[in-house]
Amino acid sequence: MAVNNDLHAAEVSEALNEVKFSGFHLRAIITAGMGFFTSAFDLTVIGTALALAGPEWMKGFLAGGGSKADFAWTMGLVGSVSLAATFVGAIVFGMIADKIGRKSVYGIEAILMTIGAIGSAFAAGPISMIVWRTIMGFGIGGDYPLSAVLMSEYANRESRGKMVGMVFSCQALGFLAGPIAILTMLAAGVSHDLTWRIALGLGALPAMGVIILRRTMPESPRWLARAKGQATAAAQSLRAYSEGIARPAAREATAVVREPLAKYALTLLGTAGCWFVFDYAYYGNTIGMPTIINSVAPHASMMTSVAWNVLIFGIFAVPGYVFAFMFSDKLGRKFIQMLGFALMGLMFLALGLIPALAQNAAAFITVFGLSYFFAEFGPNVTTFVLAAELYPVNLRTTGHGISAGIAKIGAFLGVLFLNGILAKLGFGGGMLLSAGMSLVGLVLTAVCIKEPAGKSLEEAGQETGWVPTPQEKSQESLRTPVGASA
C-alpha cells in the first residue's frame, strides 16, 4: 500500500482544516444544497401527484385489459423506481469521482435531474413516467456522493459537520415547498391533471439553476494532493477559498493514498446499514404520507391531506434539521444519530401499540410529527454527514456512493411495499415494523460507527500515515464531543 506522508500534501489538508468560513463556503453550500432541495421537492410531490393522476390513468389501464391489482403494483413501481435508479447513480458517480475527480462530473447529475423533472411533467401514463423518473433518480443518486464529499473536503475541521449538514438540510425547504405548491394550486381551482404536471415540472427549476455553478466549482484540493499527488494543482485550487489562506509550497507530492476498501468493511456496514434501515422507514412514510393519512382519516379531502403534510414538516421536521446541523459539531454525529434512532423508534412504537393515537387527529400529528423531528435531529442528517467523513480520500465518494445507494434500496422497498404492509398489518403493524428498523439502526451505530467530530477529515477517514499536528491534538482535546470516545 502506497502511503501519502508527504509534508506538502499534508500542508494542503492542514490549510483546509484551519481555513475560516468564507463566502466561498456559503456559495458551495447553496450550490450543493439545491440538489437536495430538488430531490426533497420531488419526494413530497410524487405521492400526491400519483394520487391526482391515478384515477385517469386507471381508466386507460383497465381499458387496455389490465386489472386493478396490476395497476396498484404499477403505481407502486412509478413511486419507487426513482429510488432504485438512485442506487445505481450513487454507486456509479461515486466510483467515477474517486477515479477522475469530483469536478469532472459535478453538474452532470443536475442536468439529469432537470431532464427527468421536465419529462415527468409531460408523462402520458405510468410507463413513460417510469422512464423519466429513472433518469431523474440516476441524477439524484449521483448528487449524494458528489455534493456531500465536495462539501466535506472544502470544509474546515471545526464546523465541518455544520457545513455538510446545512447542505443536506436544504432538503427541509424542498419538503415544505412541494406540498405548499400543490396546496396553492388546488386551492386556486387548478385542475388535478394540470396541478400534478406543474408540480413535477417545478422540480426542474432549482436543478437547472445550479448547473453552471456546479461546473465552475474548483476541484477538491484534498483529492488533488492526497489522491493524485498533485500538490501544485491543489495549491492553485486553494485560491478559490480566500486570499488570506496560508498556502503550501507549490511542490509535487511523491506518494498518494491508496487505502483498500476491505479495511473499511465494518465502517461500510455502519454507514450503509444505518442508512438502509432508516430510509426503509422514512421514505415509506414520507412518499406514502397521503396513504398513511388516509388510513388514519379516511374521509379527509386531498387538500386536508396535503395540509397535514405541510403541518408535520413545518412544525416538526424543519426544526429537527436546524438542531442537527447546529449541534452536530458540539454533540457529535454518532451521539445525535443514536439519540434520533432511539426516540423516533419510541414514537413509532407508541403509534403501533396505542391505537387511540391514530384515532385522534391532534394526537396523531403530535406523535407522528415527533418521529420526524427525531428523524431529522438524528439519522436523516447524520447518515449523510458520516458517510462523507469516515472514508479516506481515495475511497470517499465510493464509500458515500455505496452507502447512499444501498440506503435507497431500503427506500425503494419501503415505498414499494407500503400499501401491502398497511393492508396486511394495518397502520399499527406498519409503525411497529418502523420501530424495529430504528432499533437495528441504533445497534449498528453503536457497534460500527466512530465519532469524527473534532477530527481532521484525514484522521476521521483513518488514512494510514496521517499524523495530526500538535495544534490539531491540542484543539481536539479541548472540544471532545458528547458522543466521542476518549
* Domain membership flag for residue 253: no
Between 477 and 434, residue with greater pLDDT: 434
* Domain membership flag for residue 171: yes
Model pLDDT for residues 116-145, shown as the tens digit of each residue = 999 999 998 899 999 999 999 999 999 999
Model pLDDT for residues 151-168, shown as the tens digit of each residue = 999 999 889 999 999 999
* Domain membership flag for residue 353: yes
pLDDT the model gives residue 292: 67
Flag whether pLDDT at 254 surpasses 50: no
- 458 burial via Cβ count (<10 Å: 0-12, 13-18, 19+): buried
Between 233 and 189, residue with greater pLDDT: 189
* Domain membership flag for residue 185: yes
Rounded CA separation 212/221 (Å): 20
Flag whether pLDDT at 478 surpasses 80: no
CATH number at residue 329: 1.20.1250.20
For the chain, the average pLDDT equals 85
Closest to 442 in 3D by CA, of 362, 349, 379: 379
pLDDT the model gives residue 296: 64
The answer to which of 64-68, 245-249, 438-442 has the lowest mean pLDDT is 245-249
* Domain membership flag for residue 10: no
Between 421 and 32, residue with greater pLDDT: 32
Q: 185 CB contacts (<8 Å, ≥6 apart)? A: 194, 195, 198, 199
Nine-digit cell at 326? 447546529
Model pLDDT for residues 346-362, shown as the tens digit of each residue = 999 998 899 888 788 78
* Domain membership flag for residue 235: no
Model pLDDT for residues 381-401, shown as the tens digit of each residue = 999 999 999 999 999 999 999
Rounded CA separation 141/131 (Å): 16
pLDDT tier for residue 277 given thresholds of 50, 70 and 90: very high
Residue-range definition of the domain harbouring residue 50: 20-209+259-460
- Domain total of the chain: 1
Model pLDDT for residues 43-59, shown as the tens digit of each residue = 778 878 888 888 889 88
Q: What's the whole-number mean pLDDT along residues 250-270?
A: 81
Q: Are 376 and 438 in contact (CB under 8 A)?
A: no
* Domain membership flag for residue 59: yes
* Domain membership flag for residue 154: yes
pLDDT tier for residue 470 given thresholds of 50, 70 and 90: low
Model pLDDT for residues 282-335, shown as the tens digit of each residue = 877 766 666 666 666 666 676 777 777 788 888 999 999 999 999 999 999 999
pLDDT the model gives residue 307: 78
The answer to which of 11-20, 62-71, 176-185, 467-476 has the lowest mean pLDDT is 467-476
pLDDT tier for residue 245 given thresholds of 50, 70 and 90: low
pLDDT the model gives residue 418: 67
pLDDT the model gives residue 84: 87
Q: Are 261 and 269 in contact (CB under 8 A)?
A: no
